[in-house]
Amino acid sequence: MSAPQSNQWQLLWRVLRWLGTVVVIMAVVFGVKMVLGLFLSNDQVAGNSMQPTLKNGDRLVVVTQTSIKRNAIVTLKSPIQADEQYIKRVIGLPGDTVSVKNDQLYINGKRTAQPYLKTSFIEKSLRLSEVQSGAVTGGQHFTPNFSLATLKATQTARVPKGSYFVLGDNRPVSYDSRKFGFVKRSDIYGVVKWRYWPLNQMKTF
């Protein structure tokens, strides 16, 4: 084989090897993306129902294949619009009783802490509500009193099997299980694990 032919074969081999490497890299990237897509989703907060924990425009990483625990922030199918998602906090698990009295949460009859509700935000919200309503004295509740049995949307003492009771952290404005009832497990897309935007407010949940 002459030298020019040998050089041509070497060049062709390098090109084929390079193309093979590119194909392998693309396949790996596509495969990783497909796998991650089964377990992760990228979501953006729209609205104010989860303030002060989450704000309008926050960007989140949601794990889609995971267990659901109390106080988890979840994304779920909108009960009124098929192409929309809600972001709420899980308060009641299957079998739980849930009630609120004088802004105190009771799960299965036991008073339960709500560390995600910030006192400063609650006070500001109540002051704004008083101004808007013309009230000059206190007495309003951040979370109006309720029990599962008394809510029109639930009307049962306990959260049914395979369902959850969810609330927004911004209770006065949140449209949640108090209005649309229990959420089936199949209607929950995933659990919020990380806020990555804004960069100065990164946080894991």
Is 193 labeled as catalytic in the residue annotation? no
Q: Are 153 and 137 in contact (CB under 8 A)?
A: no
Closest listed residue to residue 164, CA positions, set 152, 148, 145: 148
Which residues lie across from 188 on neighbouring strands? 76
Question: Vertex 52, ends 39 and 132: CA angle to 5°?
Answer: 135
Is 88 labeled as catalytic in the residue annotation? yes
CA distance linking residue 50 with residue 75, whole number of Å? 12
Q: Are 45 and 57 in contact (CB under 8 A)?
A: yes
Closest listed residue to residue 88, CA positions, set 50, 43, 48, 51: 50
CA distance linking residue 93 with residue 158, whole number of Å? 9
Q: Choose, from 49, 99, 174, 177, the residue flagged as catalytic.
A: 49
Q: Are 73 and 168 in contact (CB under 8 A)?
A: no
Q: Choose, from 6, 55, 88, 193, the residue flagged as catalytic.
A: 88
Task: Say which residues have a Cβ less than 8 Å from residue 2's Cβ, sequence separation at least 6.
Answer: none
Give the end-to-end CA distance of the chain in Å, rounded to a whole number.
Answer: 67
- Enzyme catalytic residues: 49, 88
